[in-house]
Structure 1
């Protein structure tokens, strides 16, 4: 019996497909159009060099005051990446680019966040999960050609009414920046989240399954 179990273990180590997402950066940029399965998770950095990354939950600079990701990676489903690349292309044509704060979030990370802040007003209950857990959500802002972030009126993950799209008691600059971000994202298959100017969900992504796929950190 022990020999059989050992054989199965060795066989799996040699042939079983890894359940971890691949964090290694490709030697050259890949073409997202060549990806035929829209529901596969891929690493955004392998398809474009035109994004800015500030992955807040891989640091302590977030509302949790805790690092909950082992390292900064932006995984999303292929269909999300396809739309996000098109949206970023539209921003690039006007001298801006997307800055990313959060992408796909494994369910175990959602549980960790819920344990720290068990309040559905701030963190989605992991029993139900969020679109982040499905690879269909991004938290974003915009930077200009010099890398300066546009003024959006509040910081990322500010949980006051001022962060909402319907809040109008803001400067003309802030309202114009939010409108620019929102209108462009809506034109590229995303929908906004009313209470958070930074949060966008791929249309129809809510029907996808919650995932717990994780990634190993590369040195």
Structure 2
């Protein structure tokens, strides 16, 4: 059985309600709404935080709106949302702001990613998102059958520098776009320039002060530690 098929079957088992197992397979929450899952919209805590929710539109590596994203919103479990709002508040004292690409990710969205990765005929986004990789290499390190985002405490974001009046803000140069599959996106990549490393470090320092840990393969990816529900994933839609 190929990896795309096995990954899809694994997701299907989760969506049918498989319980957590000794090998660390997570439990799928029975929650049907964000409120039932304890997920809150970050804008309840930071009303004007900058958002560019990629999977709610077509500007992403799949090239189409992703299953489960019915609105361009950022939901997180309350402890993670509160911590992220504190990061945003602290940054504003330095004329900086966050820009959010993704937060909680429904399990059905991850299944969509796996199906896309298994369709080798669809190469539309290769030039922008994986120019130096064979698409068959994406399943595994880059696209996993279960995402930490589905646990509700992980966010993908970047850092913006604003002018002295905080009226115009521009994303800092991090060396790659969001969801670039390749080693240049690794936080400590030697291929990044010194200025890009400095910008990545500004983001990491701001996030670490509030308990977020970076994923070393992606400069944009941060998870609150300890996670509020480390053994549970959710599949409520973002709407």
Report if TM-score (shorter chain) is over 0.5. yes
Structure 2 residue matching 1:65: 3-state secondary structure: coil
Q: Deviations over 1:135-194 (max 9, x none)?
A: 110000011221211100110011111111121332222111001001111111010000
Q: Is the 8 A contact 2:45 2:82 kept in 1?
A: no
Q: 1:20 aligns with which of 33, 41, 48?
A: 33
Q: Where do 4+ consecutive residues of structure 1 move more than 3 Å?
A: none
**1:100 Cα deviation from its structure 2 partner:** 0.3
CA-atom RMSD, angstroms? 1.9
Q: 2:236 aligns with which of 209, 213, 219?
A: 213
Alignment pair present for 1:139 and 2:139:
no
The equivalent residue for 1:188 is 210
Q: Deviations over 1:65-112 (max 9, x none)?
A: 121122211110001011111111221111111100001011111111
Alignment pair present for 1:203 and 2:220:
no
Number of aligned residue pairs: give it: 181
State how 1:33-112 maps to structure 2 within 5 Å: 40-68=38-66, 69-112=69-112
Structure 2 residue matching 1:79: 3-state secondary structure: helix
TM-score (norm 2): 0.71
Note the residue ranges of structure 2 that are not aligned, 5 or more in a row: 1-30, 119-138, 163-167
Structure number with the bigger relative contact order (C-alpha 8 A, sep ≥ 6) is 2
Distance 1:133 1:181 in 2: 23
TM-score (norm 1): 0.77
